[in-house]
Amino acid sequence: MKTLLFNPFQKYSDTRLLAVGLITTMAGIFGASMTHTHYDGVLDTHFSDNIPLQTALLESVFNALSLAMVFFILGKIINPKTRFIDILNIALIVKIPAYLLMFFNINGQVFELTRKILSTENTAEALNFTPVNTVFLTVFTTVTIFIFLWIIVLLYNGFKVAVHTKNTFVHILAFVVGVVLAEVLSKVLIYNFI
């Protein structure tokens, strides 16, 4: 179970990972459009009042491409035996935890609450949150932090298996730089082409 959740790249075949990655990505695109969830960056999740299917599709494509391209180039530099399919599988599989966040915005609840926070004076009285709202936001924040850490662990383990990195300073630095570059590239692509 631990391997399945945190390092599926170590155990499961490339074709199986690719199939699961493509199916969940397609489901994620439809889900993002239906729940108005923006995946506007490799590590980003934001909520909106409306997201056309085309936007959700392009965001997903740009995220996967950005991560795959940056990790593949870095992977080839570190280990010339790095295969594109292993890197592409990382880009697709790491999004699965992020897709879970869309369930919080099924009724536009997170978007409404954040809009309320941003549009009122930032005091408890002005916000007028009910206890249910407070509990909901606390749960949402906790789950979001956990999912963010889960994604980082998946990314690190995936990169380690695909590129055969060791836990050395240079390899860890390459991973961190790769994630930052992929995030920047995805943002640039999304804001320029959508």
Partner 1 sequence: MAKLPIHCPSCSEGLVVAQMQCVRCGTTVNGNYSLPLFLHLLPEEQDFVKQFLMNSGSLKEMAKQMNISYPTVRNKLDDLIEKIKKLQSEDENTAL
Closer CB to partner 1, 9 or 156, in the complex: 9
Site string for partner 1, 70-109 (x = CB under 8 A): -----------x-x--x-----------------------
147 neighbors 42 (Cβ within 8 angstroms): no
Query: Please, which residues have CB within 8 angstroms of residue 75's CB and are 6 or more apart in sequence?
Result: 82, 87, 159, 162, 163
Which among 91, 69, 99, 98 is positioned nearest to 18, based on CA atoms? 91
CA atoms of 32 and 109, how far apart (whole Å): 14
Closest approach, Cβ 25 to partner 1, in A, equals 20
| Strand ranges, E, within the chain | 37-38, 46-47
Tell me, what DSSP letter sits at residue 143? Answer: H
Residues 148-167: x where in contact with partner 1 by CB under 8 A, - otherwise, as a string: -------------xx-x---
Residues 116 to 145 in contact with partner 1, rule: CB under 8 A:
none
Asked whether the beta carbons of 16 and 89 are under 8 A apart, the reply is: no
Tell me if residue 12 falls in helix, strand or coil. coil
Binder of partner 1 out of 4, 13, 107, 118 (CB under 8 A): 13
Q: How far is the CB of 149 from partner 1 (least distance, A)?
A: 23
* Closest CB 71 distance from partner 1, rounded Å: 13
Number of residues that bind partner 1 (CB under 8 A): 13
- Which residues partner with 46 through β-bridges? 38
Pick the binder of partner 1 from 12, 84, 136, 148 (CB under 8 A). Answer: 12
Q: State the minimum distance, in angstroms, from the CB of residue 85 to partner 1.
A: 9
Which chain residues interact with partner 1 by CB under 8 A?
9-14, 17, 81, 83, 86, 161-162, 164
